Amino acid sequence: MATVLNARLNQVVAVDGEPRSFFFNGRLLSAEDLSREQAARDGAERRLARLIGCGVAEGLTVTAGTGSLLHIAAGLGVTPSGAVIDIGNLDLDLSSAGRGASFSGFGNCAAGLAEGQPLAGLYLLTLTPAWAGQGRAATLLGEVGACNRRTEQPAVRARLVEVQPPAGLSAASVRNELAVALLSPGWGLGAVPEGARVGWWLRQRIGGGAAAPGLGADELPLALLQIDAAATPLWLDTDSARRRLAVPPGGAGDAAWPESWAVEMQAFAAQFTAELMEARATGAAFAWLPPTLPLTAAGLAQFRKLIGGLPAAPELLNRTQFARALLDGWQDVPLRRGAARLHLAQLEGHPERLLLRATALEDADGRLPGGGPGERTSARVASAAARILNAGRRGEGRPSKDELSVAASALTQAPDRKRR
């Protein structure tokens, strides 16, 4: 956005945005004039849609059909650019997907409309809004070729974006590992270049040889899947890709960060639960654990069978304590299975309401985080935060503004300290 210098009171100052045509009697109208009106309207609608965030508002669930068919349910979503996708039920045949241009890490697959031999591999399924021409309009100039369209109908285009998993990843844990790798703000990612984020997705390499997808701002991810040479899905995970409608994530200093991070953790917990409850699930599939996982009695039995490590009996929590443990858990990070201490809680009086919490083994106390008012940050983290703040006051080490901000935030959530 351009900077306006020396603006005066009551002065009309032009700002960024799509211009609109000015109409008056006697003006000769052209296609460009009317197209400008459409662009202005579309731009206004996109800005309005971006105010409510991006992701899936309702529906748009993806399920596997027969052979290479996928079913996308009717629903509504908003792309990071603010484009609204509103469709009815859609059956998509993956067997017509061809290989497009590729690059290191992630390669772009052509749209499902393209011809070609399907390529076995891992993909993100995305939808992009488009326009489909219908009919031919009468003209004063005779035939005008391909430009002649009577109307344009809102449409969508399905695309497969190739995913390259980290090097050396076992086939058993690939779904669990990719679910964590696609989290954004990413867990285990390095510094993100300025402007390198599109909605929930990072354009950035991940340690171990994978790369985060370079999706366009008009693309709405719906599913992560693996297909064979006949384009038949071998497995399909929706929660690894789709996000519920929310403000796109920023850095830890962003006011919307807690909400967007909670959306990420909820998506990972949903993917984890779906894979856990599959008949073919094995314990080797779960290298990472979500920080918090709501469980049913059936889910608890399956977790004990495949993973284990849970206490014999759950800790009983009242409604306030249970809600605090759940909300605090959504703000934590996934943990490697071998580096996690497992806690099991039950809502008092409701044996069907269970909650698993995973915390770092090095945390000083073994109590369930969030069990009481104001408990959030471990004593170890609080001590480190205090050292950062003291170093800043003394001018030692010169911690950055972001480090000081995060340290101050951690201390306000230290154990046995009331939230402000």
Which of 2-6, 20-24, 352-356, 377-381 has the least mean pLDDT? 377-381
Cβ of 220: how many Cβ atoms within 10 Å? 27
Residues 6 or more apart in contact with residue 259 via CB below 8 angstroms: 246, 247
With 0.75 as the threshold, say if the pTM is over it. no
> Which pLDDT value is given to residue 376?
43
Q: Is pLDDT of 375 > 70? A: no
CA quadruple 191, 362, 337, 265: dihedral, nearest 10: -50
- Could you give the angle at the alpha carbon of 304 between the alpha carbons of 302 and 305, nearest 5°? 60
Maximal CA-CA distance, the chain: 84
Q: Which of these, 224, 222, 235, 243, lies nearest to 126 by C-alpha position?
A: 222
- Angle between helix 257-276 and helix 297-306 axes, rounded to 10 deg: 70
- Rounded Cα distance between 191 and 187, Å, is 11
Q: Which of these, 186, 202, 371, 372, lies nearest to 261 by C-alpha position?
A: 186
Q: Is pLDDT of 104 > 50? A: no
> Which of 31-45, 122-136, 322-336 has the largest mean confidence?
322-336
Q: Give whole-number Cα distances, 149 to 70, 134, 244, in Å.
A: 31, 6, 36
pLDDT in tens, 170-211: 888 989 988 887 876 544 333 444 445 555 665 444 444 445
Per-domain residue ranges for the chain?
A: 34-132+151-248, 380-411
> Which pLDDT value is given to residue 232?
92
- Rounded Cα distance between 77 and 156, Å, is 12
- Rounded Cα distance between 298 and 285, Å, is 18
pLDDT in tens, 303-357: 999 999 899 899 999 999 999 999 999 988 899 888 888 999 999 999 999 999 9
> Which of 112-126, 159-173, 299-313 has the largest mean confidence?
299-313
Q: Which of these, 399, 401, 363, 105, lies nearest to 251 by C-alpha position?
A: 401
Q: Residue 155's pLDDT band (boundaries 50, 70, 90)? A: confident
In 5-89, the DSSP E strands lie at 55-59, 62-64, 69-72, 75-78, 84-87
- Rounded Cα distance between 331 and 325, Å, is 10
> Which pLDDT value is given to residue 53?
81
